[in-house]
C-alpha cells in the first residue's frame, strides 16, 4: 500500500533524550520520506535541544519547540497536546523518543489511518523488562481506567494508557478544545484523557500490537508525581 507521508507529523515529546533522539529522527526521515518530525521539548538540560536543532538545520521537515523557554506549563500531556495543535498535517503520530516504542510500527499505524480510522493505538502486547511489581501496578491501573471509561460510556481500546498512537489531527484538536479542563496537563496519560472525553461508538478506532522495548539510554521520567496525576485523571 502506498502511503503519502507528507500527510503525517511524528510528534516527539522530549525531556533529556540525547542518547536516542538523533537516531529516532534519522530513522523516521529515512523510512517515512516526506513526513514531518516535531520535537516538543519540556526543558531538557542534557543536549537534546542542540542535537535536534542541529538536525533541523539541514532537514526542512524537522521542527523543534522549546516549551520550557516559552514559559508554558510543563508535563507530558501538555507537550503532546501542544505538539498536535501546532502540526499542520492531516494526521499526527505520537510516540516516546526513548526507542521503547518501535518506530517500525509507524507504517502499520499510518496504513490504518489512511484506510479511514480516526485513532490507531499501539497496544503493548508484551513488555520486555518490567518487574512483577510494576506489572501488577499497571494491571490495577488499567482495570481502574477501564472501569472509569465504562461507567462514563466513553471510548476505549486495547491499551488505554499507551503513549504511542496515531490520530486524525482535527479529531484530537476538536475534542481537546471542548474538554481541555478534563486533561491533566502535568500527567502522562494523554490518550486516556482523550478517550474519557469521547462518547462510546463515536470514533473509528483500531489497534496494532507492539513489544514495549527496554529503554536504551537515560532514565524514566515517571515517578510518584506522575502516578498521582494518573489517579487524578480518573476523577477529572
The pLDDT score that the predictor gives to residue 192 is 97
pTM of the model: 0.93
What Å distances lie between residue 132 and 79, 160, 230, CA to CA?
A: 30, 20, 20
pLDDT tens string, the chain, 236 residues long: the values are 889 999 999 999 999 999 999 999 999 999 999 999 999 999 999 999 999 999 999 999 999 999 988 989 889 999 999 999 999 999 999 999 999 999 999 999 999 999 999 999 999 987 777 788 888 888 899 999 999 999 999 999 999 999 999 999 999 999 999 999 999 999 989 999 999 999 999 999 999 999 987 665 555 555 566 667 677 788 87
Beta-carbon count within 10 A of 98 CB:
24
Contact indicator for 74, 68 with CB cutoff of 8 Å: yes
Burial grade of 167 (CB within 10 A; 0-12, 13-18, 19 or more): buried
Structural domains for the chain:
5-235 (3.90.550.10)
Residues 6+ apart with CB under 8 A from 50: none
Give pLDDT, residue 80: 98
Amino acid at each position: 500500500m502506498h502511503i503519502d507521508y507528507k500527510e503525517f507529523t511524528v510528534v516527539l515529546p522530549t525531556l533529556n533524550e540525547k542518547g536516542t533522539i538523533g537516531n529516532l529522527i534519522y530513522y523516521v526521515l529515512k523510512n517515512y520520506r516526506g513526513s514531518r518530525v516535531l520535537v516538543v521539548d519540556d526543558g531538557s538540560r542534557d543536549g537534546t535541544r542542540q542535537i535536534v536543532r542541529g538536525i533541523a538545520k539541514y532537514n526542512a521537515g524537522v521542527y523543534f519547540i522549546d516549551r520550557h523557554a516559552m514559559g508554558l506549563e510543563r508535563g507530558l500531556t501538555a507537550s503532546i497536546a501542544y505538539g498536535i495543535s501546532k502540526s499542520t498535517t492531516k494526521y499526527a503520530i505520537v510516540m516516546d523518543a526513548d526507542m521503547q516504542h518501535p518506530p517500525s510500527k509507524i507504517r502499520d499505524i499510518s496504513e490504518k489511518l489512511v484506510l479511514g480510522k480516526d485513532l490507531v493505538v499501539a497496544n503493548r502486547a508484551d513488555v520486555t523488562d518490567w518487574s512483577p511489581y510494576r506489572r501488577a501496578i499497571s494491571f490495577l491501573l488499567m482495570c481502574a481506567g477501564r472501569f472509569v471509561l465504562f461507567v462514563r460510556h466513553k471510548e476505549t481500546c486495547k491499551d488505554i494508557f499507551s503513549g504511542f498512537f496515531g490520530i486524525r489531527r482535527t479529531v484530537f484538536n476538536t475534542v481537546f478544545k471542548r474538554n481541555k479542563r478534563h486533561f491533566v496537563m502535568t500527567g502522562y496519560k494523554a490518550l486516556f484523557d482523550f478517550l474519557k472525553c469521547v462518547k462510546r461508538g463515536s470514533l473509528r478506532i483500531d489497534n496494532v500490537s507492539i513489544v514495549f522495548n527496554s529503554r536504551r539510554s537515560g532514565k524514566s521520567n515517571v515517578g510518584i508525581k506522575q502516578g498521582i496525576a494518573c489517579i487524578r485523571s480518573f476523577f477529572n
